[in-house]
Amino acid sequence: TKDCNFVDVEGKWYAQYAVKACQLGLMKGNNGKFLGERKLMKSEAVVVLARALAGQTLEWNEAIRYAQQNGITNVQDVTKLYRPVTKWELVIMEKRVADKKAESQQNQQQEEQTQQDLGELLGNLLGGEEENQNQQQEQQEETTSQQQEQNQQEQQEQEQEEQTQEE
């Protein structure tokens, strides 16, 4: 298990967030410390965002490579990442991660739709057309039966109301 008990966050307003980030595998800390009062280095931001996009805890070098391959950062010379990150750089990198996640979700939805369409096509080609028609007919019959039951119930309620009004 991860050791997320940072000795330097006790009593700090961000303590629970530091622990949660560690538990999610986004941040590991340094020698048992979170170092939340220190400026964030660009390399650290890149690593956290890469881990968030990957959905897993990547080791430092893996995370940097992943960030470069997935467009989180365009910086190829890793030594240029070892400096404080500016707000605008962080916003740009966060936007790239959000765009990449949206693209991934869209691709997944398209893939699922393609699989569904392919399944229907194969089913029809292999004689499943008759089965599909039978299923549709069964669904129509069930819907009709439910509507009839609902109509009967409404009629009974109306008759009860009329009897109550007569009394």
Which one is predicted more confidently, 13 or 105?
Answer: 13
**pLDDT (0 to 100) of residue 164:** 66
In eight-state DSSP terms, residue 41 is B
Average pLDDT, the chain: 86
**pLDDT (0 to 100) of residue 1:** 43
Of the pLDDT bands very low, low, confident and very high (cuts 50, 70, 90), residue 145 is confident
Query: Nearest-CA neighbor of 42 among 82, 78, 96?
Result: 82
pTM of the prediction? 0.64
Tens digit of pLDDT for each residue in 124-135?
677 655 666 677
**pLDDT (0 to 100) of residue 70:** 94
Alpha carbon distance 29, 31 (integer Å): 7
Tens digit of pLDDT for each residue in 55-101?
888 999 999 999 999 999 999 999 999 999 999 999 999 999 999 98
Q: Please state the rounded mean pLDDT for residues 143-149.
A: 82
**pLDDT (0 to 100) of residue 106:** 86
- Angle between helices 60-69 and 42-54 in degrees, nearest 10: 80
Q: Under 8 Å CB-to-CB from 7, ≥6 apart: which residues?
A: 32, 33
Tally of CA atoms within 13 A in the half-sphere of 134 that contains its CB: 6
Decide: helix, strand or coil at residue 33.
Answer: strand
- Give the rounded percent of residues in the chain with a pLDDT score beyond 90: 56
**pLDDT (0 to 100) of residue 155:** 81
